[in-house]
Structure 1
C-alpha cells in the first residue's frame, strides 16, 4: 500500500511505500490537496479506531492529480477507499475494478439531476433544437454539467463537436460544446447569447450565486433529467472482504454517532452515508454506458 502523498504549496511529496495490511488508505482526486487533506483526515481518524477488530490500526491519505493516476493506485492496491463524484467513481469502476460501497449524502441531498436551459429568445424548446447550436458545459470532470448531458445528447443520435470558443459555431446539424469552467460563467454565456444553451445541476440552477435571478428571468428550461447519485464511496475490488464489510458498517452508523458529527461536516458537508438501491444502481449503469461512449467518441 502507499502510505501518504500530499500536495503542498511547493509541489508533490514523493510517496512512501508500505505493505502493512493494518493501514487503511483513503484517496481523493484533487487539484487542492492541502485543503482536501484537511477535509478527509478527520473522518479517517474517526473510522480507524472502529476497525481495530479487522486489523486496521492506522489511516493514511493519498492524493492523485487526476483519474488516471487514481486508477493506477487502485489497481496496484495503494488506495483502499476513495470518495468521489459519480462520474469519477464510474471511471474508477470501469478502469480499475473499484466497487461502489455507499451513496454519500451531502447537505441533506443524495441525488441531483441535470437541467438544460436556453435564452428565451433563442427559439430552443427541446434537445433536438440544439442541432446546429452551441451548449456550454462546466468542465471535463463534471458529472451533471458534462457527462450526463453529453450522454443524453449522444443517446439521441446527435453529433457533437468541441468548439474553439463561445463565439465559434458548429457545423450544420452538430451540437457544438464549450467548457465555461464555472457555473456563473456558464449562465453568463447563455444570458449574453454567446452560446445558445447551458447544462448544470439542479442544485446549481437553484443557487443565485451561480444563476442570478436577473439572468433566470430570461431563461427557459428545456429539460430536467431523472436523478443520479451525487457522490459515492468506492473501495478497490480486491480489498479484504472483512475490511470492506466493517468500513461499510462504520460509515452507515456514523450519522447517528455524535462523535462523528464534526468529521462528517468537514467531509464535504456529508450528512450521512446510504446503501445503494436499485434506482441508484440503474442510474449508475446508465451513466457507465454513457461514460464509455463519451470516452470513445469525444475524448
Structure 2
C-alpha cells in the first residue's frame, strides 16, 4: 500500500504530461506537390521550397515539398493521396477534379494577372506562318497533362479539322523548355508552348527572341491552380487558413522575393468555375468524359 501511495502522484503527473503533450501534438505534414515548372527537379525544388516553408510557418504545420515530373503524374498523385495540396497546371487540375474531386482554392498571379496564353512557335526562317503551312512538318506538343502544350492547341486544331497524327509528318511530346530550345535550333519545325515560359527563357538568356516567332495565340486561359485533395476539400478551417496564407503572399514578397519565381506576384481566391474553359476543351476533345 505504501508503494502504491508513492506511485499515485507519479501516475497522476504522467497522465497530466501525456494530456498536455497530446493537446499540443503536431499535426501530420501536408504533402505539397508541385509540377515541373523549372528545367530540372533540383532547380524546381529550390524554387518552390521557400513557398513550402512559408505555408508551414503560416499554418503552424509541417509542409513537405514534392516535385512531380509530369502534369499528368501530379494530377494522379493528388487524386490517389500521394499529395494533399498542389500547385498545378490548369488541365492537370481539371483532370484531378474530374477524376477524384480535387478542388481549386486559389489561382496564381503573373504580373498581377490570373490568366495567360497558349502559343505555337516556329523559327522565323522556316517559311511557316500558320497551321496551314505545317502540313507534313514536325510538330511538338508538351506532355498530355499540359494545358498550353497539349489540350488547348489540340482543341484548336480539331476546330480547324486537323488530326495531328495524320496532318503532321511527325508528332513528338516533350517538355516546354525543350520545345523552345529545339525550335530555335531548327531541330523542330514548330511546337506548342505558353507565353510565360517563352518570355522567361528569353529573359534568362536560354533562348533569343529573334530565333523564334509566334504564329498562333489562344484566348486567355486561367493560370495555374492551387488545389487540395478531395479528402481535404471539406476541411473549411484548413481551406480558410490556406486561402488567407496564399492571399498574403503578395505582401510577403516585398520582404522575401524568393517566395515565388520572377513575375509571379501572389495568389487570388478562385473556385472551380474559373476553370470552365479548360473543362470545356477537355470535353470537346474527348479527353474528358461527361458524367
The verdict on a shared fold, with TM-score over 0.5 as the criterion, is: yes
Change (3 A) 1:90 1:119: same
Provide the C-alpha distance between the structure 1 equivalents of 2:125 and 2:249, rounded to a whole number of angstroms: 49
Match of 2:117 among 113, 116, 141: 113
Change (3 A) 1:50 1:119: closer
3-state SS, counterpart of residue 244 of structure 1: helix
> Which residue is equivalent to 2:247?
252
Alignment TM-score, normalising by the size of structure 1: 0.66
Note the residue ranges of structure 1 that are not aligned, 5 or more in a row. 1-19, 162-170
> Which residue is equivalent to 2:88?
84
> Which residue is equivalent to 1:74?
78
> Which residue is equivalent to 1:281?
275
Pair 1:147 & 2:126 matched:
no
Pair 1:232 & 2:225 matched:
yes
Provide the C-alpha distance between the structure 1 equivalents of 2:70 and 2:129, rounded to a whole number of angstroms: 37
Greater strand fraction, Structure 1 or Structure 2: 1
Pair 1:25 & 2:31 matched:
yes
Provide the C-alpha distance between the structure 2 equivalents of 1:187 and 1:139, rounded to a whole number of angstroms: 20
> Which residue is equivalent to 1:272?
266
> Which residue is equivalent to 1:212?
208
Provide the C-alpha distance between the structure 1 equivalents of 2:120 and 2:66, rounded to a whole number of angstroms: 36
Provide the C-alpha distance between the structure 2 equivalents of 1:61 and 1:197, rounded to a whole number of angstroms: 34
Greater helix fraction, Structure 1 or Structure 2: 2
3-state SS, counterpart of residue 60 of structure 1: strand
Match of 1:43 among 21, 37, 51: 51
Shift of 1:213: 4.6
Alignment TM-score, normalising by the size of structure 2: 0.68
Q: Deviations over 1:202-260 (max 9, x none)?
A: 344555446535435xx5x53211121332211112212221122112211221246x7
Pair 1:177 & 2:171 matched:
yes
Note the residue ranges of structure 2 that are not aligned, 5 or more in a row. 1-25
